[in-house]
């Protein structure tokens, strides 16, 4: 019996198609690295923020859409900066509009996966966080 490392991930993405692609890519990546995944997906960013403020430490990886109704990904990120800044290094923004983020934090080096994306780009963003 092997003791696989189980990686916990949270995907906050309001588009079901993108959410399922991210989840599938993450399962593929973890399979390649011999790890297992416990992946939670949420479409509601308010619920996502609540989960991160109460259980954030348990996640190894946070995939965060930027443009969502009610609460944007950058607003969630900004809240985390105040509540639990240790989580910021685990965040990958998933967006078709990276200029939104660069405009808000021009001096910060953010981890951004630009839509549309392929598996290789996904892998390059995830690998350093889960290394």
CATH number for the domain including 102? 3.40.50.2300
Structure tokens at 127: 């690998």
Task: Categorize the per-residue pLDDT at 48 as very low, low, confident or very high, splitting at 50, 70 and 90.
Answer: very high
User: What value does the CA radius of gyration of the chain take, rounded to a whole number of Å?
Assistant: 14
- What pTM, to 2 d.p., does this model score? 0.95
CB 73: neighbour CB atoms within 10 A?
A: 26
131 in Cβ contact with 38 (< 8 Å)? no
Look-up: residue for tokens 């403020």? Answer: 53
Phi, psi of 109 (to 5 degrees): -85, 100
Please report which confidence band the pLDDT of residue 100 belongs to, taking 50, 70 and 90 as the band edges: confident
Domain assignment of residue 58, given as a range: 6-130
Question: Which of 96, 62, 67 lies closest to 80 in space, CA to CA?
Answer: 62
Has residue 25 got a pLDDT over 90?
A: yes
1 in any annotated domain: no
pLDDT at 1 exceeding the cut of 60: no
Residue 20 has pLDDT above 90, yes or no: yes
């Amino acid at each position: 019996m092997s003791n696989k490392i189980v990686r916990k991930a949270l995907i906050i993405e309001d588009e079901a198609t993108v959410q399922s692609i991210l989840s599938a890519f993450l399962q593929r990546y973890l399979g390649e690295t011999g790890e297992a995944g416990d992946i939670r997906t949420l479409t509601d960013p308010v619920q996502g923020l609540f989960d991160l403020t109460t259980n954030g430490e348990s996640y190894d990886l946070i995939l965060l859409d930027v443009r969502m109704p009610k609460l944007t990904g950058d607003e969630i990120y900004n809240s985390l900066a105040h509540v639990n800044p240790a989580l910021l290094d685990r965040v990958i923004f998933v967006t078709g509009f990276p200029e939104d983020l660069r405009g808000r934090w021009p001096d910060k080096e953010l981890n951004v996966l630009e839509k549309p994306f392929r598996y290789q780009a996904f892998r390059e963003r995830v690998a350093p966080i889960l290394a």
